[in-house]
Structure 1
Amino acid sequence: MDDHSGADFSVKPTLVGEKVILRPFLLDEDAETIRTFLRDPEVGRLTGSDSGPSDPEPWDDKAEQSMRGWYGTRNEQPDRLDLAVVDRATGACVGEAVLNRWNSANRNCNFRILLAPSGQNRGLGTEALRLIVGYGFEQLGLHRISLGVFAFNPRARRSYEKAGFVAEGVLRDSLSYGGEWVDEVVMSILASEWQRHRGHPELI
C-alpha cells in the first residue's frame, strides 16, 4: 500500500452530495448559524461542551471575537479539516463536519459533526458524515477514523452505525453532566471497511 502519511490537510475541498454541500467556512455568510449552534443548550449537551442545564450566556463582544478568531482561521489549518455543512435546499450553513486530531504516523483522525436545529432530522448529518469520511479515506489516505458519542445520544450513534462506524468500547463515566455521570461509546471505521461499503454497510 502507498504511504499516505503526508496527507495534505491544507487543501480545503468542496464536497457535493444530494442534500448537502461541504465547503470551507465563509464567515460573513455563516456567522449567524455559528452563533446559533454555539448558544444552543442541546448542542452543548450532546457535544459534552456544557456541564449541565443552564441558560445561554449573553452573546457579547468577547464571544463574537472568540467565534470569529476560531472560525476565521479554520481554512488555514494544515493538520485538520473543518468544513461548513450547507443545506442544498436553502443554501444556508446548518453546521460543521470536522476531521481533527490527525496522527500522521498511524494515519488516523477523529471525526465530529455538529448541526444546528435547522439541519436536524432530515438525513443531512448522515450524508455529511459520508462525504467527509469518504474524503478522508479516498483523498487523504487515512487508515482509521474514530469518534466518541455519549450514551444519551442514541440518535447520533444510529447515524454513525448507518454509515459504517463500529462500536469498539465504552469509556465509563466519561462526562459529568447535570450532576450525573455519562458513558462515552468509542466508535471507528477502517479504510478496508469503507472500501467494501462506501458508508452503506446495509448494502453488503
Structure 2
Amino acid sequence: MMKTTWQKDGFTIRLAKANDVDDYYLQNYCPLDKEVARLTGCKEEFTKEEVTSFFLKAIKETDRYFFLILDPAGKIIGESVINEIDWDLRRANFRICIFHPAARGKGIGSWAVEVNRDFAFDQLQLHRLELDVFSFNPRAEKAYLRAGFKREGVLRDAVLDQGRYADDILMAILEDDWRRLKNGE
C-alpha cells in the first residue's frame, strides 16, 4: 500500500481531499500572500471559484499527487505537488509553496521537498524529478540543492521581478542520484 501521509514535529503532509477545498481557499487565498505570488510567478488575486475549480480538478488528475502541508493545529500552511507525470518516461515536475510567512524559514519546506523526492522515487518509481526556481529565490534553490537536485540550465532573463528581469533556473534529480544520496554516498 502506498504511503501518502507523513508527520514531523507535529506537522503533517498528506494528500489533499475534496473536503479540504474551503479551508484551502479561506486559509491561503484570503488574501494570497504577495511574496507567494512573487516567488511562484502567479497572479496576486484569485476568486473563490477559480481556486475551488482548480483544487477539485487537481485532486482527480491521474498525473498529479497534490499534498497539503498542515501545521500542528491542522491549518493548511502549504502545498507540495508532483505533477505532469509522464508514466512512460517515468518523469515528473515538482513544485512547493509555503503560504504563510510565519511558517517559512523553519525547515518545513526542506522537509516537504525531501518527503516528495523520496515518494517520487521510492513509491512512484520515477526516473527523473524536475523543477524550476527563480533566481530571486535563493533560499528555495539551496533547499533543492541540499535535497540532491542539480542545476541543469538557466533561462536567462525569463521572468520579471518587480520590474527587473530575472533568471529561471532549471533543476532535476535522477533516480541514481537519489539512490546515492540515500546510501550516503
TM-score (normalised: structure 1): 0.80
Q: Is 1:39 aligned to residue 32 of structure 2? A: yes
Q: Is 1:162 aligned to residue 146 of structure 2? A: yes
Look up the equivalent residue of 1:48 and give its one-letter code. G
Which residue is equivalent to 2:41?
Answer: 48
Residues in 1 aligned to 2:15 and 2:3: alpha-carbon distance in whole angstroms: 7
Which residue is equivalent to 2:119?
Answer: 135
Residues in 1 aligned to 2:38 and 2:62: alpha-carbon distance in whole angstroms: 29
Query: Are the aligned partners of 1:86 and 1:92 in contact in 2 as well (CA < 8 Å)?
Result: yes
Which residue is equivalent to 1:30?
Answer: 24
Identity of aligned residues (%): 33
Number of residues paired by the alignment? 180
Q: Cα distance 1:78–1:13, how it changes in 2: closer, same or farther (>3 A)? A: farther
Look up the equivalent residue of 2:28 and give its one-letter code. I
Deviation at 1:119, TM superposition (A): 2.2
Cα root mean square deviation, aligned: 2.2
Uncovered stretches (5+) of structure 2, i.e. residues with no partner: none
Q: Cα distance 1:13–1:72, how it changes in 2: closer, same or farther (>3 A)? A: farther
Residues in 1 aligned to 2:7 and 2:174: alpha-carbon distance in whole angstroms: 22
> Where in structure 2 are the equivalents of 1:1-204 lying within 5 Å?
14-19=4-9, 20-25=11-16, 26-36=20-30, 39-50=32-43, 57=45, 63-87=47-71, 89-116=72-99, 117-198=101-182, 203-204=184-185
Query: Are the aligned partners of 1:30 and 1:93 in contact in 2 as well (CA < 8 Å)?
Result: yes
Query: Are the aligned partners of 2:5 and 2:15 in contact in 1 as well (CA < 8 Å)?
Result: no
Query: Are the aligned partners of 1:12 and 1:81 in contact in 2 as well (CA < 8 Å)?
Result: no
CA deviation digits over 1:95-147, x for unaligned, max 9? Answer: 10001122222211110000112321111001111111111111111000011
For residue 35 of structure 2, give the secondary structure of its aligned residue in structure 1: helix
For residue 80 of structure 2, give the secondary structure of its aligned residue in structure 1: strand
Residues in 1 aligned to 2:2 and 2:103: alpha-carbon distance in whole angstroms: 22
For residue 59 of structure 2, give the secondary structure of its aligned residue in structure 1: helix
Deviation at 1:73, TM superposition (A): 3.0
Q: After alignment, is 146-155 or 103-112 more displaced? A: 103-112
Higher relative contact order (CA 8 A, sep 6+): 1
TM-score (normalised: structure 2): 0.87
Task: Say which one has the larger Rg.
Answer: 1
Uncovered stretches (5+) of structure 1, i.e. residues with no partner: 1-10, 51-55
Query: Are the aligned partners of 1:109 and 1:144 in contact in 2 as well (CA < 8 Å)?
Result: yes
Q: After alignment, is 69-78 or 93-102 more displaced? A: 69-78
